[in-house]
Amino acid sequence: MGEVRPNTGSEPGEEEGMQRIPLLTPYKMGNFRLSHRIVLAPLTRQRSFNNVPQPHAIPYYSQRATKGGFLVAEATGVSDTAQGYPNTPGIWTKEQTDAWKPIVEAVHAKGAVFFCQIWHCGRVSNTGFQPNGHPPISSTFRELAPQLRANGVDMARFSPPRQLRTDEIPKIVNDFRIAARNALEAGFDGVEIHGAHGYLIEQFFKDQANDRTDEYGGSLENRCRFGLEIVEAVSNEIGADRVGIRLSPFANYMECGDSNPEALGLYLAEALNKYGILYCHMIEPRMKSVGVKSECAESLTPMRKSFKGTFIVAGGYDREDGNKAVAENRTDLVAYGRHFLANPDLPKRFELDAPLNEYKRETFYAPEPVLGYTDYPFLEETDAFQGTT
């Protein structure tokens, strides 16, 4: 537990004499038996109109599901104060929970494991997304500067946040607990708590954003208290063996950097062991900002060695370095975002070392239910188009 783990099992379809592909070796994640180590990362797609998952998500997720595969659903709001982007799904109402059910059923019909990522945007929001036009909540009163949207054209503008009072924090913790319960009611196998990318939980973790003077601010232990209370509440509600968390200690998304990210990551990796959760999903240090991969001497290795459950890495991976990370026991699983978005059959393409479809960034967050969503071709379709067999 937390030590170097040997890769056991053989690649699906492997013939004697063929080279093993580390990403395609089986792995036992708690009670879940995975046939390969390629994970669909949680990807915001902004196609859940009025925060309700839509039927067009059924083909989207089921296209990417394989027997023994592991998928994490897009970030899903835990309450009506959690929103910060248009048309992102929620799971705090019965309507939302029921709308997830056929999506989850379609993924399970393919034999895959499916977790729901639960989140709260915190100050990455504005009054237009908040009930009754109230300010968004955060660890701080500090307002975010406008940010260029992913389309490279529009600017996102954020309202001045309201710092949560100490006595309000248990209510937010409870929102995550109820969301986790609803996720299991919808049929999900578990939940991933979103503690990364500058959203509410990370606004407490990071000293660039957290300027509190109560028991939720100041020291490393205090800044991590809120996130760990959520982990404890969710684990108590649905079982720690169904709980993961995503962290990005080295990143500075949404003005959410930290003066000592390695200490933060190591503290969290060790603290999470107390709760016995299933996995820790960490963003590579090279991903300092969204979509930008850079050379970096920092490493997740100390966190990998400290955390006793399954370790998942994400951030700028391709086939080659994903295989290398698994082969060198730097991780158990590798999460893929943009490549899996554009290649619904990514495990098969990696198995055959086949060319990948190019992703279309301009369609990532379009409301279109087909274009840039479920219309990326499978390998067989690509071969047929090119006249090959």
Q: Which residues are catalytic?
A: 199
The helix or strand, by DSSP H or E, that contains position 245, with its residue range, turns out to be strand 243-247
Amino acid in position 21 = I
Tokens linked to 191:
């939940």
> Rounded to an integer, what distance in angstroms lies between the CA atom of residue 239 and that of residue 46?
30
The helix or strand, by DSSP H or E, that contains position 335, with its residue range, turns out to be strand 333-336
The helix or strand, by DSSP H or E, that contains position 326, with its residue range, turns out to be helix 319-327
Phi, psi torsion values for 216, nearest 5 degrees: -110, 15
Start-to-end CA span in the chain (Å): 45
Q: Which distant-in-sequence residues (6+ apart) come within 8 Å of 261 by Cβ?
A: 249, 250, 285, 298
Are 204 and 210 a contacting pair, CB within 8 Å? yes
> Rounded to an integer, what distance in angstroms lies between the CA atom of residue 62 and that of residue 110?
7
Q: Which 8-state DSSP code applies to residue 20? A: P
Query: 118 to each of 36, 67, 115, how far by Cα in Å?
Result: 24, 24, 9
Q: Which distant-in-sequence residues (6+ apart) come within 8 Å of 347 by Cβ?
A: 23, 24, 36, 38, 66, 69
> Rounded to an integer, what distance in angstroms lies between the CA atom of residue 180 and that of residue 170?
15
Cα atoms in the 13 Å half-sphere on the side-chain side of 182: 23
Are 193 and 246 a contacting pair, CB within 8 Å? yes
